[in-house]
């Protein structure tokens, strides 16, 4: 149905672009049963963080949290991203930066947008390979030895 709205206007959009937007809108979850996690009943948490915490608990033989996906609007989803620099570039800049400063947040510059904002190579393509090499995730010397 989303595609139909755009097609009526003469605009074609690939499904993958809509999927990316929907994934961002579903990045928050509501904790319905905290299990043995640090989450609180009714807390809104990041889906990635809950899944990561649950995986650790399952491996340790403990009770993971139960949660329900929470659909956010596009604006709210953009403001609740993990990167406060990315969120500040969208709307409510003063509020986002003030909240980040008072909470002592650190932005690890993991996404494309925040790296462009601060003038660094993006973590994709050549920039991604260089970043992995610096972190030691790739072999130190990717060229074979010549004898």
For residue range 56-94, list pLDDT tens digits in order: 999 999 999 999 999 888 777 777 777 888 888 878 889
Same domain, 65 and 98: no
User: Residue 116: pLDDT above 60?
Assistant: yes
Distance, CA of 57 to CA of 63 (rounded, Å): 6
What confidence score (pLDDT) does residue 88 get? 85
Out of 29, 49, 80, a domain closes at 80
Query: What number of other Cβ atoms are within 10 A of residue 147's Cβ?
Result: 3
Q: Any bridge partners for residue 46, and if so which? A: 28
pTM of the model: 0.59
Same domain, 118 and 135: yes
Q: State which residues form the domain around 109.
A: 83-141
Same domain, 15 and 66: yes
Same domain, 17 and 71: yes
Residue 62 lies in a domain: yes
Q: How confident is the model at residue 147 (pLDDT cuts 50, 70, 90)?
A: very low
Question: For the chain, what is the mean pLDDT?
Answer: 84
């Amino acid at each position: 149905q989303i595609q139909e709205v755009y097609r009526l206007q003469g605009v074609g959009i690939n499904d993958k672009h809509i999927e990316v937007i929907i994934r961002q809108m579903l990045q928050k979850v509501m904790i319905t049963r905290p299990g043995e996690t640090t989450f609180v009943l009714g807390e809104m948490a990041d889906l990635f963080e809950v899944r990561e915490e649950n995986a650790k608990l399952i491996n340790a033989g403990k009770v993971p949290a139960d949660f329900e996906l929470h659909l956010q609007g596009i604006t709210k989803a953009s403001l609740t991203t993990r990167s406060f620099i990315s969120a500040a570039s969208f709307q409510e800049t003063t509020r986002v930066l003030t909240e980040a400063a008072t909470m002592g947040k650190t932005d690890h510059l993991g996404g494309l947008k925040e790296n462009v904002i601060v003038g660094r190579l993006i973590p994709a393509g050549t920039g991604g390979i260089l970043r992995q090499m610096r972190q030691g995730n790739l072999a130190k010397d990717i060229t074979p030895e010549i004898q």
